């Protein structure tokens, strides 16, 4: 591995590439919480802790231009060397990191999935997507008005909390299903999410698709509902049903027309046999539900529900300027509807037509697994003996939320990116170990952590065979809660709308931040967004 520091790229050069539409991946390798506090608009968060597992599918072209940054913690150089070891030769560091970006006049943004959230605010700003307040929607519900409330989030988010009577219809499903859920043109359709973005994009999708019903977004989503002092439902399972033939045909016609107007290309299914042009990154995604994807999909296509692909472009396509190809199993509604939004967000996007169910037979899981060098393993019974005698330290490098929910008694939670600091913390209260065992919900993450420590730990290092799941599969005891934390819980930023007991001040601050995104976009000047102002 090279010893000289990687070269640097200036902030001005990065911004010029973004403005021109050239391919570039600006990676922020901090954990999600510090990332959420300040970062460039198109910085994609790819934590150092998961780099080897996520880089192969998020950065599919090895010779793409990658610029790595942090906030001066020293993580960027470590990440650059690991990326080089993975076969990415075009690696540079952002000159001066985040402080250098600021000093050069670069705009910094808060929160996560900011490109998509900023785009949603721009859509509302430019085409004035209609919306109703929580009090207005509640009054309609109370008087039994002819309305249907459609929740555009993922099913698991909907099940956490939802507007009373709302039906789960994730974003890409809206145009395909709405005519059956609201067959009377007089029925008012209200689209909601937790905050603002998916409410706006969902409502505007239906308006763009030309449904005859009056359509409104629920202003500020479930946050606005909570701030109004209204009650939410929990644990519901109402979902869309099968789309009728007539609804599919009407939706197909509208979706194709929209994709064409937005500049998305239509590709025949035979074009899939042609590889991406040299020097171009191409992402291929199936935008159907995860259940449909698992039942069978096109080879080489990842899973990204259409609404989430639009909502999380920084996750699914961190190479800005890349090409995105989307497929939907043959209904030719969800793919072109998704494509029409991605095209407006400045992506080179194409959707597949002529796709038959017979072609969707592959059941390879997503994301793909990564081949890792083996690490010494111990069985659960060996670990139990070591913990009982105090001879073993057990480090759990799972996501902190998973650790808090359930972990092996006696385990310490640690961030993989802060293992030396975690070992020092444990050593302050625990006797010297004879062995150190790594575990995680994902055994691969534990293997990576074990390799990090090999030769640098105060005792031999091994991995719990089968990961934490193997321990619990034998009926062994479990613990829970925020105990024995050897690292700070910074691996995930807690959204203001998660759960139902968040402080009103935090929720209001989140909304105020979203309202200010249009002005930030103007100051930043790198987005290349183009909103369809006159829907067909």
Q: What pLDDT digit, counting tens, does each position of 417-443 carry?
A: 999 999 999 999 999 999 999 999 999
Helix (H) or strand (E) holding 55: helix 51-58
Residue 2's pLDDT band, with cuts at 50, 70 and 90, is very low
Q: How high does pLDDT run on average in the chain? A: 95
Q: What pLDDT digit, counting tens, does each position of 63-113 carry?
A: 999 999 999 999 999 999 999 999 999 999 999 999 999 999 999 999 999
Q: What pLDDT digit, counting tens, does each position of 206-248 carry?
A: 999 999 999 999 999 999 999 999 999 999 999 999 999 999 9
Contacts of 233 (CB under 8 A, 6+ apart): 161, 162, 163, 164, 165, 166
Predicted confidence (pLDDT) at residue 1 exceeds the cutoff of 50: no
User: Which of 441-445, 499-503, 506-510 shows the lowest mean pLDDT across its residues?
Assistant: 499-503
What local confidence, expressed as pLDDT, does residue 139 receive?
98
What local confidence, expressed as pLDDT, does residue 277 receive?
84
d(CA 404, CA 494): 14
Percent pLDDT > 90 in the chain is 93
Q: What pLDDT digit, counting tens, does each position of 437-485 carry?
A: 999 999 999 999 999 998 889 999 999 999 999 999 999 999 999 999 9
Residue 327's pLDDT band, with cuts at 50, 70 and 90, is very high
Helix (H) or strand (E) holding 4: none
d(CA 290, CA 16): 37
Question: Residue 64: which of 283, 223, 238, 368 has the closest Cα?
Answer: 283
Percent pLDDT > 70 in the chain is 98
Identify whether the C-beta of residue 464 lies closer than 8 Å to the C-beta of residue 446. yes
Tokens (6 digits) for 340: 């029409």
Report pTM. Answer: 0.95
Predicted confidence (pLDDT) at residue 15 exceeds the cutoff of 70: yes
Q: Is 345 helix (H, G, I), strand (E, B) or coil?
A: coil
d(CA 333, CA 340): 11
Domains and CATH numbers, the chain: 8-110 (3.40.250.10), 117-243 (3.40.250.10), 264-359 (3.40.250.10), 377-473 (3.40.250.10)
Predicted confidence (pLDDT) at residue 498 exceeds the cutoff of 70: no
β strands within 201-358, DSSP E: 215-218, 265-268, 282-286, 302-303, 323-327, 348-353
What local confidence, expressed as pLDDT, does residue 536 receive?
47
d(CA 262, CA 43): 25
What is the arrangement of strands in the sheet containing 392-396, beginning at the earlier edge strand?
Answer: 377-378, 461-464, 435-439, 392-396, 412-413
- The residue-averaged pLDDT of 49-70 equals 97
């Amino acid at each position: 591995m090279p010893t000289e520091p990687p070269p640097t790229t200036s902030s001005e050069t990065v911004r010029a590439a973004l403005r021109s539409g050239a391919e570039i991946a600006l990676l922020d390798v901090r954990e999600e919480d510090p990332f959420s506090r300040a970062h460039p608009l198109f910085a994609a968060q790819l934590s150092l802790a998961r780099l080897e597992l996520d880089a192969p599918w998020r950065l599919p072209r090895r010779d793409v231009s990658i610029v790595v940054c942090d906030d001066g913690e020293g993580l960027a150089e470590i990440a650059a060397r690991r990326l080089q070891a993975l076969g990415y030769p075009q690696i540079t560091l952002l000159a001066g990191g985040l402080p250098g970006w600021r000093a050069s006049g670069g705009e910094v943004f808060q929160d996560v999935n900011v490109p998509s959230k900023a785009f949603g605010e721009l859509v509302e700003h430019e085409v004035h997507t209609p919306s109703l307040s929580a009090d207005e929607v509640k009054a309609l519900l109370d008087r039994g008005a002819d309305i249907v409330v459609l929740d555009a989030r993922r099913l698991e988010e909907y099940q956490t909390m939802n507007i009373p009577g709302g039906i789960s219809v994730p974003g890409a499903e809206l145009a395909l299903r709405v005519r059956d859920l609201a067959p009377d043109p007089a029925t008012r359709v209200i689209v909601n999410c937790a905050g603002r973005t998916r409410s706006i994009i969902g409502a505007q999708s239906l308006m763009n698709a030309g449904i005859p019903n009056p359509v409104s977004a629920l202003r500020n989503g479930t946050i606005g509902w909570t701030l109004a002092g209204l009650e939410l439902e929990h644990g519901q399972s109402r979902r869309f049903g099968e789309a009728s033939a007539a609804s599919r045909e009407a939706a197909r016609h509208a979706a194709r027309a929209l994709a064409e107007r937005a500049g998305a290309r239509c590709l025949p299914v035979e074009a899939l046999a042609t590889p991406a042009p040299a020097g171009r990154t191409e992402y291929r995604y199936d935008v159907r539900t995860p259940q449909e994807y698992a039942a069978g999909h096109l080879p080489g296509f990842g899973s990204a529900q259409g609404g989430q692909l639009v909502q999380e472009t920084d996750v699914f396509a961190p190479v800005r300027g890349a090409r995105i190809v989307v497929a939907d199993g043959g209904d030719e509604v969800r793919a072109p509807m998704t494509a029409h939004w991605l095209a407006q967000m400045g992506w080179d996007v194409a959707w597949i037509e002529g796709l038959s169910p017979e072609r969707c037979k592959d059941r390879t899981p997503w994301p793909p697994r990564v081949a890792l060098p083996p690490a010494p393993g111990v069985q659960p019974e060996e670990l139990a003996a070591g913990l009982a005698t105090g001879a073993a330290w057990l480090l759990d490098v799972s996501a902190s939320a998973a650790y808090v929910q359930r972990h092996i008694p006696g385990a310490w939670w640690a961030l993989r990116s802060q293992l030396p600091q975690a070992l020092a913390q444990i050593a302050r209260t625990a006797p010297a170990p004879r062995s150190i065992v790594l575990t995680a919900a994902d055994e691969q993450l534990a293997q990576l952590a074990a390799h990090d420590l090999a030769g640098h730990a105060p005792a031999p290092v091994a991995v719990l065979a089968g990961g934490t799941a193997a321990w619990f599969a034998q009926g062994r005891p479990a613990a829970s809660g925020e105990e024995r934390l050897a690292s700070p819980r910074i691996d995930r930023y807690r959204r203001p709308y998660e759960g139902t007991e968040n402080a009103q001040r935090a929720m209001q601050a989140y909304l105020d931040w979203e309202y200010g995104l249009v002005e930030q976009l103007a100051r930043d000047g790198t987005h290349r967004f183009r909103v369809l102002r006159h829907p067909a």
